[in-house]
A and B are shown apart, each in its own frame.
Chain A
Amino acid sequence: MSDARAVLPAFVWALGRDLRLAVRSRGELGTEIAFYALVVTLFPLTLPPDPALLDTLGPGVLWVAALLSSLLALPRLFAGDFADGTLAAIALSPRPLAALVSGKMAAHWLTTGLPVVVLAPLFALAYHVSATDIAVLVAGLALGTPILSMLGAIGAALTLGARGGGSLLALLVLPLYVPVLIFGAGAVGAVHAGLSPSPHFSLLGAGLLLAALGTPFATAAAVRIALD
């Protein structure tokens, strides 16, 4: 009871539970990674085998695929808990709701964003992307994909209980992803143009901080609206 209002135990509870559920339902976890791999490998098949062209398009394709695979897992973030009543228990817990949803966001990133960051160098090689560009790409993904999970969580909570929630969610969230995409892919573009990628990283970092501060509260509010 003494730690009921503490932030960390709430965060750890949600993170641990969602990770455990993700690991136990391996099929779903694999789906997103397989989806990412498929999208990324299908693209070169439609393009002429020109290393310069692949190198130019590669980072952009990898970013769009990261966006889509993050989106693919979003409906599951709250829908299961909403349907079986766990979300009501979560919202009525004495623990801070913003910390609980933060834990869920972190679990979403660890199961969808992190694999994308880790696998990106592998797929970037298939696009003939140079080693320096790969480093910039991976750094951008590492900064950007957590923002995707955090912004997406707001959309996932807002579309709870809505008919056609999945497609509505895509329409709601994809425009919000645009700045992340621009600065993330732009970092690689800057290196290509002989410029420093650091302004892009700074903006992504600032976005990450802002999202970390704001989205838990926005998501908590959206969860409460969904339950009302």
Chain B
Amino acid sequence: MPIAAVFQAHDLAARRGTTLLWQHLAFSLGEGAALVVRGANGSGKTTLLRILAGLTRAEHGTLEWRGRRVHAFAQVLRDDVLFIGHAPALKDEMTARENLASLATLAAEDVQPMDAAAALAEVGIAAHGALPARVLSQGQRRRVHLALLALSTRALWILDEPATALDAQGLAWLEATLAGHCARGGIAVLSTHVPVMIDAADVAEITL
């Protein structure tokens, strides 16, 4: 039985300066599907993810979310998308817990202080929750940012290189979290350089 397509791209193309990064890109994702984007450095993975998240306009082509054509910053897309960029969006002056709670509130998640602490415990940095983000290591900063996934109720996750700076244990958590998200009918799009095993019904792959 074909699954109803929720997130579709038709004939996308992206340009950086005068060079065409890629073109004729199309996909169709149903509920519970995952899309893994691979490609060399500079091949335009981040550009693709930013276009899919609605941050950047595509050079050509259209995007459809739940049957509606969406443009950059469309409210219907913003209501459902969680974008995690390659830089951990943490403020050095705030503690790990404050950072996470702040990002979750921004994403309009209904978060209690206890939830943020529990999410940090889940990614293994419960002990450092009260430390300012400035003293955390790269991997720990990445974990704090990714802990947002544990609090997210959004249907569409777009993750730019989420596995970067993660150790084996962190990667296992990420894989389990992605599998859980897809099992609930969510859609995940991620770029990666390292093998990420996603236990989802439908895992598509794009190599740029």
Kindly list chain A residues whose C-beta atoms are within 8 Å of the C-beta of B89. Answer: 84-86, 88-89
A163 at interface by CB-CB < 8 Å: no
Q: Within the complex, which residue of A9, A25, A85, A93 is in contact with B107, where a contact is CB–CB below 8 Å?
A: A93
B79 and A88 contact, CB distance less than 8 A: no
B72 and A224 contact, CB distance less than 8 A: yes
Within 8 A of A (CB), among B82-124: 83, 85-91, 93-94, 98, 102-103, 105-110
A92 and B83 contact, CB distance less than 8 A: yes
B73 and A89 contact, CB distance less than 8 A: no
A224-B90 contact, Cβ under 8 Å, with A4-B79, A95-B108 = no
Chain B: interface residue total (CB-CB under 8 A): 32
Query: Binding site of B, secondary structure by majority: helix, strand, loop or mixed?
Result: loop
A1 and B110 contact, CB distance less than 8 A: yes
A13-B105 contact, Cβ under 8 Å, with A85-B85, A88-B83, A92-B54 = yes
Q: Within the complex, which residue of B55, B90, B93 is in contact with A92, where a contact is CB–CB below 8 Å?
A: B55
Segment touching B, from A16-24, A54-62, A115-123: A16-24
Kindly list chain A residues whose C-beta atoms are within 8 Å of the C-beta of B85. Answer: 85, 88-89
A228-B55 contact, Cβ under 8 Å, with A1-B110, A89-B106, A92-B83 = yes
B128 at interface by CB-CB < 8 Å: no
B103 and A94 contact, CB distance less than 8 A: no
A72 at interface by CB-CB < 8 Å: no
Kindly list chain A residues whose C-beta atoms are within 8 Å of the C-beta of B107. Answer: 89, 93-94
B132-163 vs A, CB cutoff 8 Å, 1 = contact: the mask equals 00000000000000000000010000000000
Q: List 13 A-B contacts (CB under 8 A).
A: A4-B79, A9-B105, A84-B89, A85-B85, A85-B88, A86-B89, A88-B53, A89-B85, A92-B83, A93-B106, A94-B79, A228-B56, A228-B72
Query: What 5 pairs between A and B have smallest CB-CB spacing?
Result: A24-B93, A4-B108, A85-B89, A85-B85, A85-B87
Give chain A's interface residues, CB within 8 Å of chain B: 1, 3-5, 9, 13, 17, 20-21, 24-25, 80, 83-86, 88-95, 97, 100, 224, 227-228
Give chain B's interface residues, CB within 8 Å of chain A: 50, 53-57, 72-73, 75, 78-79, 81, 83, 85-91, 93-94, 98, 102-103, 105-110, 153
